[in-house]
């Protein structure tokens, strides 16, 4: 008779839905992520399902497109969902190649005539998920774009800093479930818009039982951005500045998939952050590309610092967008006053969305700690309470911060030119006003 495994004390103290038995492999940058993704796709036998905000058909990202094409040609069902803002169009060549191979793809909420002027269009598909054959999953912040190319910054001399996880274990079923639901909802909306109501009903039945009223409501929620879905498809870097590390991982880890959407998971990811920071005893390390935390998250960080927890933030050091850059500075001032360390990533663009608390709580995903991610977008993070993985990610971030972070001090921030400080306040005000229009408090 087999003896059941002893309870995992970390899991027992964490969220009640944490499950054991996961393999977690940390992948840093596209140089690790793309080969792992291509290897999984080339071994696929039944289904490949990929969701991404940006799919740039150039450079190293082409290896992923080619792997999808190869898989479809050998009979694998290949589905792709791209966001209408992150990827507003697909090159004609790849439309034709995907159609000939049998790759099916859909654009999530393409922008209409008024673009982003309509607040409901701000609800984007920002998560980066992939599942192969229902057994191997990928979740993180890495878009399908070459590490040396950036939409805002252009060509990068040093690869972009970002992370993803390769996951095997029970939570892959949850990834399959959420991706299948979105896929069939998009199909149902398309059929309904074409007045093919019987086909739309069949798509709804495919995603949930007829009696599951909550899922049916979610499927037809026009505010989530699904109403405008468009359906398409066929029936090396300098060594001195390279912070990359080989893939490292753990087995038998306790983990869970956390989602954010505009229906049933509005604040799951933010609550997980708040709970972990609120329980922190020693240190909090956060690497986040777009960091404009709301009142609750700022309060949690400030309280942690006041009770003696060392709080370190690794944030974007490059100017990308007016609002994201300037609206963050008033928040920086408050955090620095409380003794929180802010390190700006210097060598290249930072796109990471990861965190570690006390080496025992860690998360890797697509969620920025800003209003777009926490209030409007569809996001996905993997959370784990495995101490081995927490230590692994902590050491990785510690090394990057020491080698490539430039510490920001309060005096330098406060004595910038007055024009810069005016722009900070202006950007912060525009952000607050924009959120007010959408009915959100942040």
Per-residue pLDDT band at 437 (split at 50, 70, 90): confident
Please, what is the average pLDDT of the chain? Answer: 87
Q: Which of 326, 353, 386, 394 is catalytic?
A: 353
| The pLDDT value given to residue 11 | 42
Q: Which of 126, 191, 326, 394 is catalytic?
A: 126
- Sorted by where each begins, the domain ranges of the chain are 19-233, 259-437
Task: Flag whether pLDDT at 198 surpasses 60.
Answer: no
Q: How far apart are CA 427 and CA 62, in angstroms?
A: 37
The three-state secondary structure class of 392 is helix
Q: Which of 49, 128, 326, 394 is catalytic?
A: 128
Across the range 95-123, mean pLDDT stands at: 91
- Is the entire prediction scored with pTM above 0.85? yes
User: Which spans in 314-417 are helix H?
Assistant: 322-326, 329-337, 371, 387-404, 410-414
Could you tell me the sign of the dihedral formed by the alpha carbons of 22, 358, 302, 352, in that order?
negative
**173 tagged catalytic:** no
| The pLDDT value given to residue 202 | 64
44-67: pLDDT as tens digits:
999 999 999 999 999 999 999 999
**351 tagged catalytic:** yes
**198 tagged catalytic:** no
259-437 and 19-233 share a CATH fold: yes
Query: Torsion-angle region of residue 312: left (phi > 0), alpha (psi -120 to 50) or beta?
Result: beta
402-429: pLDDT as tens digits:
999 999 999 999 889 999 999 999 999 9
**321 tagged catalytic:** no
| The pLDDT value given to residue 292 | 96
Q: Which of 133, 283, 395, 398 is catalytic?
A: 133
Q: How far apart are CA 415 and CA 408, in angstroms?
A: 12
In this predicted structure, which of 116-120, 155-159, 321-325 has the lowest mean pLDDT?
A: 116-120
Q: Which of 191, 351, 370, 424 is catalytic?
A: 351
**126 tagged catalytic:** yes
Task: Flag whether pLDDT at 367 surpasses 90.
Answer: yes
| The pLDDT value given to residue 194 | 60
Percentage above 90 pLDDT, the chain: 75
241-253: pLDDT as tens digits:
455 556 689 999 9
CB-based contacts of 314, cutoff 8 Å, min separation 6: 285, 286, 287, 288, 343, 344, 345, 350, 352, 397, 400, 401, 405
CATH number of 19-233: 3.30.870.10
Task: Flag whether pLDDT at 279 surpasses 80.
Answer: yes
The three-state secondary structure class of 68 is helix
Q: Which of 147, 162, 243, 358 is catalytic?
A: 358
Task: Flag whether pLDDT at 215 surpasses 70.
Answer: no
**128 tagged catalytic:** yes
Instruction: Classify domain 259-437 at the CATH superfamily level.
Output: Endonuclease Chain A (3.30.870.10)
């Amino acid at each position: 008779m087999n003896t059941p495994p002893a309870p995992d004390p970390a899991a027992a103290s964490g969220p009640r839905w944490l499950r054991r038995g996961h393999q977690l492999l940390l992948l840093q940058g596209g140089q690790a992520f793309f080969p792992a993704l291509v290897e999984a796709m080339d071994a696929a036998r039944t289904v490949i399902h990929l969701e991404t905000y940006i799919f740039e058909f150039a450079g190293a990202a082409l290896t992923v497109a080619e792997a999808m094409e190869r898989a479809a040609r050998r009979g694998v069902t290949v589905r792709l969902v791209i966001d209408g803002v992150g990827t507003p169009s697909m090159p004609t060549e790849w439309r034709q190649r995907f159609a000939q191979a049998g790759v099916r793809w859909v654009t999530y909420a393409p922008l209409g005539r008024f673009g982003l002027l309509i607040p409901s269009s701000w609800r984007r598909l920002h998560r980066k998920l992939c599942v192969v054959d229902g057994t191997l999953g990928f979740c993180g912040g890495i878009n399908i774009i070459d590490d040396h190319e950036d939409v805002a910054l252009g060509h990068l001399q040093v690869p972009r800093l970002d992370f993803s996880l390769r996951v095997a274990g029970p939570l892959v079923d949850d990834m399959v479930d959420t991706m299948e639901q979105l896929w069939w909802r998009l199909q149902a909306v398309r059929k309904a818009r074409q007045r093919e109501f019987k086909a739309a009903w069949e798509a709804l039945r495919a995603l949930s039982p007829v009696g599951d009223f909550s899922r049916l409501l979610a499927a037809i929620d026009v505010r989530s951005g699904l109403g405008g879905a468009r359906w398409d498809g066929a029936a090396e870097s300098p060594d001195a500045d390279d912070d990359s590390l080989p893939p490292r991982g753990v087995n038998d880890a306790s983990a869970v998939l956390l989602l954010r959407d505009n229906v049933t998971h509005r604040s799951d990811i933010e609550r997980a952050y708040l709970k972990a920071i609120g329980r922190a005893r020693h240190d909090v390390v956060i690497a986040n590309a777009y960091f404009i935390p709301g009142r609750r998250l700022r309060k949690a960080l400030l309280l942690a610092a006041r009770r003696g927890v060392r709080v370190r933030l690794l944030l974007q050091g490059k100017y990308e967008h007016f609002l994201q850059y300037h609206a963050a500075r008033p928040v920086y001032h408050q955090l620095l006053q409380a003794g929180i360390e802010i390190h700006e990533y210097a060598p290249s663009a930072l796109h990471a969305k990861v965190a570690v608390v006390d080496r025992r709580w860690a998360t890797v995903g697509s969620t920025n700690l800003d209003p777009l991610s926490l209030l409007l977008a569809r996001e996905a993070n993997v959370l784990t309470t495995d101490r081995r993985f927490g230590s692994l990610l902590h050491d990785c971030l510690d090394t990057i911060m020491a080698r490539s972070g430039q510490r920001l001090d309060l005096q330098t921030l406060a004595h910038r030119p007055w024009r810069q400080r005016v722009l900070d306040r202006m950007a912060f005000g525009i952000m607050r006003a924009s959120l007010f229009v959408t009915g959100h408090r942040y």
